[in-house]
Each structure stands twice: as C-alpha cells, then as structure tokens.
Amino acid sequence: MSDAALTVSGTRLAGVRERLSGMGPAWVAGAVAAGPATMASLVTAGASFDYSLLWVVVLSAVAGTLAQYLAMRLGLLTERGIVAVVEAHLGERWAWLLVADVVVAAGAAQLVILNTLASVTSTVTGVGAGVCGVAWALVLAAGLAGRGYGFLELAAKLLVAGVVVAFVSSLLVVPVDPGAAARGLVPTLPAGSAVLAAGILGGAVHVTLVTMHSYAMRARGWTRSDADLAVFDVVASMLVAFGVYSVAIFLVAASVLSDPDLTTVGAAEALGPLVGPGAEWLFLLGLGGAAVSTLGGNTVAPPFLLADKLGWGTTVEDGRYRALLAGFALLSVPGAFIGGEVLGQLVLVLALGTVGTPFALALVLYLLNSRAVSEPTPTLANAGGVAVFLLSGALAANFVRGQVAGGVGPLSGAVLAFAVVVAAATVGVLGKYIREEVAGA
C-alpha cells in the first residue's frame, strides 16, 4: 500500500476515533431507552406473541432515531433548552404544559423503576424491598446532587452491556425461526397486544428522551458547528446500538419463551441456552443495572425542564437545581413499597409515557417549522417526524382504549384524564400551526 493510501486510511481512522470519543448526548438518551421497562416490554412481547411484533421492534429503533434527530436539530439551531424555546415562541402556558407532561411521565416511571431495583436488590441480598428502595433513593439523591454517581452508573452500564452481549450471543444457539421472523415484519396487532406495542415504541420514542436531549447537548457545549457529530451520535446510539439491543432481546425471547404471564425468573430462561443455571442471576443483575442507569437519566429530566422554566441554572453548580435533583430522587421512595411482579408494571409505565409523547413531538415539529430556527427543516425530516407523531398517537390511543375497555377505575381513570389533557394540548398546537399557515398564505 502506498504512503498516500496509508495517510488517507490513517486520517479516516483518526476521524472515526474522534467521533466515537466525542459522542455523548444521544447515548444518555440511549441508556435511558435501553432500560428495564424496554427490556420487560421486549421479553414479554416475544413470550406472548412469538414473532408477531417484530415489526414494532424494528420500527421503534427507526422512530426513536427520527425523534432524537428532530430534538437534536431543534437544540442545535436554537442553542437553548426546549422549555425556554417553547415559552419564547408559544407562551408560558405551553411551557408549563410541557413541564407537567414530563413530570407525570417521568414520575410514574421513577416509581416503577425504583420498585424494580428494590425487588432485584431484595432478591439478591435477602434484605426487605422497602429497605433496599429507601437506600437506593438516598444513594441516588446523594450521588446526583454530589456528583458521585458517575462510577455507579458506569458499573450499571457494564452490567447492562453484559446482558445485551448474552442475548446477542444467544442468537447463535437458540432456534430462531427465520420464516416466522420474516412474517413478524408485516404490520399487524394481535388481540391484546396494544399495551405491549405501545410499551415497545415508548421505550424509543418517549417524552423524557425527546425533551432532555437539548439539555444534554448544552451540557456538552455543542453548537450548530457540531451538527455532523450530533447526527453521528444519534444514528450510532439509537439506530445501531439500541436497534441491535432491541432486536436481539426480542428474537431470543420469541424463540424460547411462550408464557404470557411472565415473571422475572421466567424471563431469565431466555438466557438459559447460553449461560444455563446462571441465567436467573445474569438477568436479575442486568435488570437491576438497567434500572440504576435509567434512574440516573430519568431523575435529571424533570429538574432540567423545571429549572429552565424557572430561569435557574441546569448544572449542579446552581444550588437550586441541585436541590431539585435531590428532591425528585427522594420522591421516588414510595415506589419501593408498590410490590407485585415488576415486568407488567414496567410495560404499563412505558405505555403511559407514550400517551404524553405526541404533545412533545408536536411542539418540536411546530418549532422546527417556525421562526424559532434560522434554517428550514428538510422535507424528508418533516415527513418522518409527522409519521412518528401519527404512529405514537395511534399506539397511545389504542393503549388508552384498552385501559378503559373494562370500565373506568382509579388507574384507568387517571390514565384517561392524563390522555384527555395531553390530547387537547396537542390539538391546540396543531390548530395554532394551521391558523398561522393560513394567515401567512
């Protein structure tokens, strides 16, 4: 090989290494997306409906990539947090609605994820789940507010990575049915699958992920000059890493599990072909690790938005923001006493997040096509964003319909009330955009 060719090759390799080392904001979102709720949704979907929902799994990675790209684009072009942009161009009421949307979705997730972590810790240590949950909430509050959470989160991500590697490796030894998998790519929703479909999509397209992206980029100091790196960041984290994670877990579960009333022990059987008797421990440790890393990202989202709305700083250097972090972490303590089988709860809370997502997507699309940004949004990006918006809206509607089908109780009533408020707000954003387009025509 000539010296010139070696130089070009070396330059390209150095560029790739620079991009890999520079990635970050989308990987924070990816770590939250690849949490225990997503894992539970994928495993339960595979066990309950075989390969039928594979198309939803693949679509979730594509939709998640599109949603994060749009959120990234808005953050780069405005170089501000999303709440400040919403308030400046739509008004204070809309900003508060967005903050409330995130607080409800992230708050519900916080309670269930802490319950998951407490349950796993109790199973591993033999200590009561309530005690474990309180201890984890204190660690979370002290770690995030005091900057000491980094090592704990790194350890958790290593555990999650181990489970992902185990699932991907299991694909080499489990009896995956190629024909059935191919048929699973044809869009269809079997009876009773609406909650799971909403849960799978909610893992990738979630109001928390969409809204926190601008703040993560601000923390990294990215501007519009970092656009190429930001696109690479989104594609590598959501389309590639999260996509492989989701498809591998789903295919293994669909191939070896068949119990719709799945427990954590039953889900661990999906790893049996690879690690045998150690499957339960590996799955529990991975589920707990995913809960730890997800709790970190989920905890910072509401304080990000609330601090931005109040005009406070969004770093721990601002004592008020630090107090918000600690407070939101401690508010998760009641989750330790929920009890019950965690897999079903995790699926439900992801589906609930899907209800709040169309409003956030509508705001992002509105702002990207308004005077808030100085560059027009590409037609293809707009079309993709509209498609993701319609898909998330349809799955959210199916989920709400399924919740109220058996009668309106306390839980289904709360879900319905939340859905009505968010739907009204979403219609309001769409109506405002249409009126402005008609007036400007």
Most confident listed range (122-126, 185-189, 259-263, 291-295)? 185-189
pLDDT, residue 72, reads 94
Mean pLDDT over all residues of the chain?
83
In the 3-class helix/strand/coil scheme, how is 300-318 assigned residue by residue? HHHHHHHHHHHCCCCCCCC
Query: How are the residues of the chain apportioned to helix, strand and coil, as percentages rounded to the nearest 5?
Result: 80, 0, 20
Helix, strand, or coil (residue 174): coil
Q: What is the DSSP letter of 1?
A: -
Q: Name the nearest CA neighbour of 109 among 310, 315, 260, 296.
A: 296
Structure tokens at 359: 């409003």
pLDDT, residue 11, reads 46
Span 109-133, average pLDDT = 89
Most confident listed range (150-159, 271-280, 409-418)? 409-418
pLDDT, residue 166, reads 73
Residues 6+ apart with CB under 8 A from 363: 82, 86, 90, 94, 98, 429
Q: How far apart are CA 292 and CA 279, in angstroms?
A: 20
pLDDT, residue 416, reads 84
Residue 154: band (very low, low, confident or very high) from pLDDT cuts 50, 70, 90 = low
Residue 410 has pLDDT above 90, yes or no: no
Residue 22 has pLDDT above 60, yes or no: no
**DSSP code string of 335-373:** GGG--S-HHHHHHHHHHHHHHHHHHHHHHHHHHHTSTTS
> 218 or 1, which is more confident?
218
**73-77, 237-241, 257-261, 390-394: range with lowest mean pLDDT:** 257-261
Neighbouring CB atoms inside 10 A of 127's CB total 13
Residue 150 has pLDDT above 70, yes or no: no
Share of the chain above pLDDT 70, in %: 87
Span 277-287, average pLDDT = 74
Residue 435's identity, in one-letter code, is R
Phi, psi of 187 (to 5 degrees): -60, 120
Q: How far apart are CA 339 and CA 335, in angstroms?
A: 8
Residue 7 has pLDDT above 70, yes or no: no
Residue 147: band (very low, low, confident or very high) from pLDDT cuts 50, 70, 90 = low
pLDDT, residue 148, reads 43
Residue 96: band (very low, low, confident or very high) from pLDDT cuts 50, 70, 90 = very high
Query: Are 115 and 318 contacting, i.e. CB atoms less than 8 angstroms apart?
Result: no
Residue 8 has pLDDT above 80, yes or no: no
Q: How far apart are CA 386 and CA 377, in angstroms?
A: 12
Residue 250: band (very low, low, confident or very high) from pLDDT cuts 50, 70, 90 = very high
Torsion of CA 365, 369, 370, 373, to 10 degrees: 90
Residue 434 sits at the vertex; the CA angle it makes with 429 and 436, to the nearest 5 degrees, is 95
Most confident listed range (29-38, 83-92, 267-276, 408-417)? 83-92
pLDDT tens for each residue of 43-57? 889 988 999 999 999
Encode burial over 275-307: b for 16+ CB neighbours within 10 A, e otherwise: beeebbebbbbbbbbbbbbbbbbbbbbbbbbbb
**DSSP code string of 103-154:** HHHHHHHHHHHHHHHHHHHHHHH-S-HHHHHHHHHHHHHHHHHHT--HHHHH
pLDDT, residue 9, reads 47
Span 428-435, average pLDDT = 91
pLDDT tens for each residue of 318-359? 889 889 989 999 999 998 888 777 777 887 787 778 889 999
